[in-house]
Each structure stands twice: as structure tokens, then as C-alpha cells.
Amino acid sequence: MKIGVLVGSLREGSLNKKLAKAVMKRLPEDFTAEIVDISKLPFYNEDFDTEGNLPEEVRAFRETVKGYDAILLVTPEYNRSTTPVLKNAMDTGSRPFGKSVWNGKPVAVLSASPGAIGGFGANHHLRQSISFLDMPIMQQPEVYFGGAHEKLDDNGEPVDADTESFIQLIADSYAAHVKKNLA
């Protein structure tokens, strides 16, 4: 299984990037996962999809996503929503109408935050968009990774057995979700 991982934070030391990498590392051996660079995507403009106007970054992004079996989305929370860069990537991949690269790809949404509610608002706001994109979404466990700055060390490794168990549960549940939906 080939997994595309989109992280909604561009910051190098991002807690969400650390969480994404921790989950990726714990996926089964028959899974490969890679983080998709969404930092260079221009803001989506419907004019892109007219004859001859498609920027190379958009074309390459869509082709890359088409090659994945499933998607993992990891987002911080900005003002009770997901980040503009991640929403832009989702919109860019969903167009032109009828040619969405997301159709049928199993997905999970994880959110991490230093705050207590772990990006709950961003997680659910992103799920609202996903419901329209025809992507089977993992319902359980819900992943609102609160206090993330205290649960992952500088290298993104869990600091204790409870955190390790939870991250392994995320990886195992996501793998089962993907396999079930691609069977």
C-alpha cells in the first residue's frame, strides 16, 4: 500500500509533522508512506483548468496523489479550522469537477496541538470537506493529539509507553481501515 501524507504545517519543527512521521514509522511492512510537499502549490484558481493554464506544480501534485492508494491528513488548528495550505491542497486535488484525485481513497485525519483539545476544531472542519470528496474516512480512533509538545521528544519519538501505545493504535487502525476499504 502506498500512502500519501499531507501535513498542514509548513514549519520544520512542526508537532504535526512529528506525529505524521511517528505514525508512518509504525505502519505495517507492506505499507510505504511519504510526505507530500504542498508548500509550493499556488492558491487554487479555476482558471488553472482552462486549456494551457495549468501550473506545473498543480499538474505534478495531482499526478503524485493519483499514485497513492490512500491518504493520511495531519493538521494543526488555525482559528478552529485547518490550515490554508492543507485546504488549498484538498481543493487543488478536487478539481476540475469530475476529475478529483481523492475519489475512493481511504483517509484518516489526525490533529495535534500543544493545547488540551488537540486540534478538535480543525479535525472536524477538515472532515466536513472530506465528506464531499468521496473518501472513506477512518472514524475510530478519533485523533486529537493534545499536549503534543509534551508527548513527543525533539526527534518525534513518544516520551512514554502510553503515547507509544496510542501512536501504534493509530497506525494499526489506519492500516486496517485502508485494507478494508481497498479490498
The average pLDDT across 131-138 equals: 95
Helix axes 56-66, 84-94, angle to 10 degrees: 80
How much is the pLDDT for 17?
96
How much is the pLDDT for 91?
97
The pLDDT tens digits of the residues spanning 47-102 come to 999 878 899 999 999 999 999 999 999 999 998 999 999 999 999 999 999 999 99
The pLDDT tens digits of the residues spanning 6-26 come to 999 999 889 999 999 999 999
Would you say residue 182 has pLDDT above 90? yes
Asked whether the beta carbons of 47 and 54 are under 8 A apart, the reply is no
The average pLDDT across 134-161 equals: 94
Could you give the CA distance from residue 137 to residue 107 in angstroms, rounded to a whole number?
Answer: 5
* Domains observed in the chain: 2-182 (3.40.50.360)
The pLDDT tens digits of the residues spanning 92-132 come to 999 999 999 999 999 999 999 988 888 999 999 999 999 99
Asked whether the beta carbons of 171 and 138 are under 8 A apart, the reply is no
